[in-house]
Amino acid sequence: MTDMIALAGVHYSYPDTETEVLRGIDLTVDAGQVVGVVGASGVGKTTLAKVISGFIPHSEGGELSGGVEVDGIQVPTSTLADVVSRVGLVTQNPFNQISGAKFTVREEIAFGLENLGVPRDEMIERVADVVELLGIEELVDRSPYALSGGQQQLVAIASMMVMAPRVLVMDEPTSQLDPSGSRLVFDIMESLASKGTAVIVFEHKLELLRETAEVLHVLADGVIAATGTPREVLSDARTDEWGVGATRFTRAARRAVEQGLLPKKTELPVSLPDAVEVFRR
Amino acid sequence: MSTLYLDRPSPLNRLNPITKLVGVVSIIILVFALPYWWAPLAILILVVVPAALLARVGGRLLVVSGVLLVPLMIVIIVAQGFFNPRGETILFSLGSFNFSLEGLLFALAVGGRTVVLVTATMVLLFTTHPGKLLNALSKNGMPPKIAYVISSTLQIIPSFRTRADSILLAQRSRGLKTGGNPFRRFAVLIPLLSPLILGVFVDVDERSTAMEARAFGSTAKRTALEVLPDPLVEHIARWAVIIVALVALALSFIGALPQVSWPL
């Protein structure tokens, strides 16, 4: 496996502050892997997403130390243009991801390709592929500003996917999506990973992370508090302490253990298939 | 989106936006270059109105330009008719004020130019999707950052208005009174502005990140998804109107245009 993202001892503080938002982050993501990061609000998830995607330090400034290597380049010493040609970033607010430069969804999706000077024929093909994959054919002739938040988020994701980044950073990409839209986004992450894209997703939807992520990190107070498989991490008794919470299946099983309905050493379920397996025993 | 564009299947809608823009600019140059009071009227009747009818936007043009131009024309005609210092031929009098023919013709020339400028521009805006116009301008050398400023302004302002409405709604739900006399309405702006402006700063930061993530700062030679048809006949037409306008301007500048009655 090749490390597409390799963070080693990363510390960061925003300009004009002394408080470190990130305090010694070590993290790797391989090609073709989906890695999740969970944590309470304000622990530094968005900051970490910006470090990986190069906006820290290139746009935000601040004090960054430690190693940040993405797709073989050192992010702090490379240009932002070089980083964004390799890393796609999807953020949580869909409204602000719409460029404002284009008047139809089709053009909006192609905007990044136009900026990179991709030939028109290739552009048409790539836009059509992404539109079909996301099932947004009926939106392509509409104004991006005439869409709902969820639809705008799908357009934002399409706009990133079409650029075929080797690394995809998704910062709460499903915050505006309904359950089926959220499911679709996670399916797309899996599909991209299966083609070799390294995906790191910062997300609160634990059940979907359980099904999709290979590795889960818990970010708490600027440090990685726990790492493991989603089931290991999300069934940990400290999830409330980390501000991550637990899925309804974990909570139900925990209550069942407390009431003696399940053995004390039961491996707690995180998702529906886990729960079925546990309760069947 | 803040746009006057009307999606109609007309020949004018199908023209390349640059052709229409060149046409409008040439018309404006012509009406300002020709020193005849009847020139704007002639261009209005022979060019602008037929173009509007061809584009099936005549009714809309009448309504919008009427609202804008009728009060303006009334003011210009009254002011110039009664108070033009060159007024000699009295048409009628109101008390001690005389309404002169020279003042009326001057008003028609000045006002007519404004009418042509506004109506020709409106026909352009009614028949040209702003996105296509900006695409065409970008293709012809307009810096992408300027195109971005124009297009984002057109699109983001309505969203900005929606956000202002949401903030007002939230504040009203917490007991803020937004109705009443003009002073009270003005006072409502104060609690509205703070969250609105702070929100804009956050938006600007996030949007610039999104733009960079999509290689807006790239130095690569840009390509375009949408290609606008630009046939040879339109190229010829553009150069023809440009030459006509420039000749008229040059003749006017050197004073070589023939003197017709009431030159202005």
Cβ contact, residue pair A97, B158, below 8 Å = no
* pTM exceeding 0.80: no
Query: B218: which chain A residues are within 8 Å (Cβ-Cβ)?
Result: 81, 85, 115-117
- Helix H or strand E encompassing B228: none
Q: Which of residues 136-195 of A touch B (CB under 8 A)?
A: 143-145, 156, 159-160, 163
User: Looking at the predicted structure, is the pLDDT value of residue B259 above 70?
Assistant: no
Buried b (16+ CB within 10 A) or exposed e, B174-185: eeeeeeeeeeee
Among A28-42, A249-263, B212-226, the range with the most confident prediction by mean pLDDT is A28-42
- What pLDDT score does A1 carry? 58
pLDDT band for position B256 (cuts 50, 70, 90): confident
- What pLDDT score does B67 carry? 92
User: Looking at the predicted structure, is the pLDDT value of residue B117 above 60?
Assistant: yes
- What pLDDT score does B264 carry? 46
pLDDT tens digits for range B227-243? 888 999 999 999 999 99
Q: What single-letter DSSP state applies at residue B215?
A: T
Task: State both tokens at A105.
Answer: 């969804």
Give chain A's mean pLDDT: 89
CA distance B188 to A190: 49
A239, A245 contact by CB (below 8 A) = yes
CA distance A77 to A124: 34
pLDDT tens digits for range B163-217? 788 888 888 788 777 677 777 777 777 777 788 888 777 777 788 888 888 888 8
Q: Is B203 on the interface with A (CB under 8 A)?
A: yes
Measured between CA atoms, how close is B203 to chain A, in angstroms? 6
Q: Which residues contact B225 (CB under 8 A, 6 or more apart)?
A: A106, A107, A110, A113, A114, A120, A123, A124, A127
3-class DSSP state of B97: strand
A99, B154 contact by CB (below 8 A) = no
- Higher per-residue pLDDT: B127 or B210: B127
Q: Which residue of B has its CA nearest to A147?
A: B159
pLDDT band for position B263 (cuts 50, 70, 90): very low
Query: A119: which chain B residues are within 8 Å (Cβ-Cβ)?
Result: 223
Query: B133: which chain A residues are within 8 Å (Cβ-Cβ)?
Result: none
Of A99, A103, A114, nearest to B223 by CB-CB distance is: A114
- What pLDDT score does B2 carry? 61
- What pLDDT score does A23 carry? 94
pLDDT tens digits for range B24-51? 999 999 999 988 888 999 999 999 999 9
Cβ contact, residue pair A113, B225, below 8 Å = yes
Among A117-126, B138-147, B193-202, the range with the most confident prediction by mean pLDDT is A117-126
DSSP strand E in B84-192: where?
90-94, 97-100
- What pLDDT score does A111 carry? 92
Angle between helices A149-161 and A179-194 (to 10 degrees): 10
Q: Which residue of A has its CA nearest to B227?
A: A120
3-class DSSP state of A214: coil
Q: What residues are paired with B208 via a beta bridge? A: none
Of A93, A123, A160, nearest to B223 by CB-CB distance is: A123
Cβ contact, residue pair B210, A104, below 8 Å = no
pLDDT tens digits for range A56-91? 899 888 999 999 999 999 999 998 888 988 999 998
